[in-house]
Chains A and B, each alone.
Chain A
Amino acid sequence: MTTVIQASGLSRHYPGDGSPVRAVDDVRLVIERGEAVSVMGPSGCGRSTLLHLLGGLERPSAGELTLDGRRVDGLSEAAWARLRRRSVGFVFQAFHLIDELSAVENVELPALLVGTPPQAARRRAMELLERLDVADRAAHLPARLSGGQSQRVALARALVNEPLLVLTDEPTGNLDSHATGELLKILAGLREAHQTLLLVTHDPRVAAIADRLLSMRDGAIVDDTRLDGGLSRQAALAQIAGWDA
């Protein structure tokens, strides 16, 4: 396994009233390729800030960060942008699709940014939309998509360049129960395909997708544990049966 993310002493402080707010404080973190990691913790614990730091949307105040073996904490805005378009896919709670572009145009955008020829980018975008079951909405503008469709388009956009790392920030936060279920299946599929995933969420179902759970509190990772392994299939079924018997 290769290491995708390696962070040590990673911190992000904001100037506050009096003492600085430590949104992320001295975080040490290693994420291997193919791992699906969820991050939970109370609101304001610094989950989203950590995600933004890992994706280069914010700069750390201190600490080191390597992405795919390359030091990135000192990169310029433009260098981060170039890195991001190939290696990092973002999925936001509010979808953040570009309103003026149709679904498929939104998806092909990162592909065009890395210089994929337009036809190839369109083909790739349509493939993804088909895989995520929103191909029939490809020509629609985001304003005419439902929440679930929007988030699937956003996910397709995050995946279009086959990024090393997909970062999702409360991906189900704006979705109803049914749409959440659909998205969970997709995320589970990504995990099975060994896509490296970081899921910041407070939805237990999303968190349970992951192989590994990080609990954050006050900007620090206070618990880092594996969710996989444990009970065998039989034992799990027995537990469920016993419970409800």
Chain B
Amino acid sequence: MLALLAKEPAHGYELRHRLARALGPLGEVLNPGQVYVTLSRMERAGLVRGDQVEQSAAPDKKVYEATPAGRDHLAAWLADSSWPKVAPAEFHLKLVAAAATGLADPSALIDLQRRELLRRLRKVQRLVEEDPGDLDGMLLLEGTALRLQADVRWLEACERRWRAGDKQ
């Protein structure tokens, strides 16, 4: 959300609309109230600033824009390559955000993320190589390895998508 505001100021309704578009089918489950709650939370944290705009025909509404602190926060988020559990949605948002704001190159994000994932995969594979005895432990490691592989493959899919996007 912050990323979308960093690109250009918007009011709550617009923001919700754009968010829904970027998230695709996931946007459908977005609670309209959540947007406003999050916005006010971010405003309290000083990441966004809201300006009341007077409108003649309609009730006044608040236009939000990102503050410098907000932009810094955004950059740090983009650069963070740790891979949380619900990776695909968040990483996808990052790519959308990076492309939207121009703060980072989506391809570079993908490379960064792949590097991190492969490091982990390598670690897991080495753990497997080191003690191949424990069957339960092996199963756990194997599960981890398979998830990491799946994520790397998904990154490849992202790469194709974003490269295709470049060319449009």
A and B touch in their complex, CB below 8 angstroms: yes
Q: Which positions in A face B, CB cutoff 8 Å?
A: 38, 40, 42, 184-185, 188, 202, 204-205, 207-210, 213, 215, 217, 222-223, 225, 227-228, 230-231, 233, 236-237, 239-240, 243-244
Render B105-124 as a binary contact track against A, CB cut-off 8 A, 1 for contact. Answer: 00100010011011111111
B-side interface residues toward A, CB under 8 Å?
85, 107, 111, 114-115, 117-127, 129, 140-141, 143-145, 148-149, 152-153, 156, 159-160, 163
A42 touches B123 (CB 8 A): no
- Known A204-B117, A213-B115, A243-B85; contact A233-B127, beta-carbon cutoff 8 A: yes
Q: Are B115 and A223 in contact (CB under 8 A)?
A: yes
Interchain nearest-CB distance for B158 vs A (Å):
11
Return the 6 tightest CB-CB contacts between A and B, nearest first. Answer: A204-B152, A208-B121, A208-B122, A223-B111, A236-B123, A204-B149
Contacts A/B (CB < 8 Å), 14 sampled: A38-B118, A204-B118, A204-B121, A205-B149, A207-B118, A207-B152, A208-B118, A213-B118, A225-B115, A227-B122, A231-B123, A233-B127, A240-B124, A240-B141
Say how far A35's CB is from chain B's closest CB, in angstroms. Answer: 14
The complex places the Cα of A239 from the Cα of B119 at a distance, in Å, of: 13
* Choice from A42, A208, A225 contacting B156 with Cβ under 8 Å: A42
Contacts A208-B125, A209-B122 given: A240-B160 contact, CB under 8 Å? no
For the complex, give the distance between the alpha carbons of A244 and B147 in Å. 11
Known: A42-B163, A205-B145. 5 other contacts (CB 8 A): A207-B121, A209-B122, A213-B118, A227-B119, A239-B120
Contacts of A237 in B (CB 8 A): 127
Which residues from A are CB-within-8-Å of B126? Answer: 188
Pair B125/A205 contact, Cβ less than 8 Å = yes
**Interface secondary structure of A, over-half rule:** mixed
The 8 Å CB contact of B120, one of A209, A215, A236, is A236
Residues of B within 8 A of A204 (CB): 117-118, 121, 148-149, 152-153
Q: How many A-B residue pairs have CB under 8 A?
A: 72
- The residue among A42, A223, A233 with the most chain B CB atoms within 10 A of its own CB is A223
CB-contact partner of B115 in A188, A205, A217, A227, under 8 A: A227
A185 to B128, CA, bound (A): 10
Contact A188 B111 (CB under 8 A): no
Q: Which of B85, B129, B148, B153 is most buried by chain A, counting CB atoms within 10 A of its CB?
A: B129
B residues in contact with A227, CB < 8 Å = 115, 118-119, 122
Inter-chain contacts of A225 with B (CB < 8 A) = 115
The answer to whether B140 touches A240, judged by C-beta atoms less than 8 angstroms apart, is yes
Q: Across the interface, do B160 and A42 meet the contact criterion of CB distance under 8 Å? A: yes
> Which residues in B have their C-beta under 8 angstroms from that of A239?
120
Given A205-B149, A244-B143, CB of A40 within 8 Å of CB of B123: no
Q: Is the CB of B156 within 8 A of A202?
A: yes
**Complex alpha-carbon distance, A150 and B156, angstroms:** 28
Chain A residues closer than 8 Å to B152, beta-carbon distance = 204, 207
Partner of B159, one of A42, A188, A213: A42
Q: How far apart sit A207 and B126, CA to CA, in the bound complex (Å)?
A: 13
The residues of A that contact B144 with a CB separation of less than 8 Å are: 240, 243-244
Write the nearest CB–CB distance from B121 to chain A, whole angstroms. 4
Residue in A closest to B151 when the chains form the complex, CB atoms: A204
A222 and B144 CA atoms in complex are apart in Å by 28
B82 nearest CB neighbor, chain A only: A239
From residue B132, how far is it (CB to closest CB) to chain A in Å? 9
Complex Cα distance, B29 from A159, in Å, reads 56
Least Cβ distance of B29 to chain A in Å? Answer: 24
Q: Cβ of B122: which chain A residues have Cβ within 8 Å of it? A: 208-210, 227-228
**Chain A residues with CB below 8 A from B117, complex form:** 204
How many angstroms between the C-alpha atoms of A202 and B152 in the bound complex?
A: 9
A73: min CB distance to chain B, Å? 28
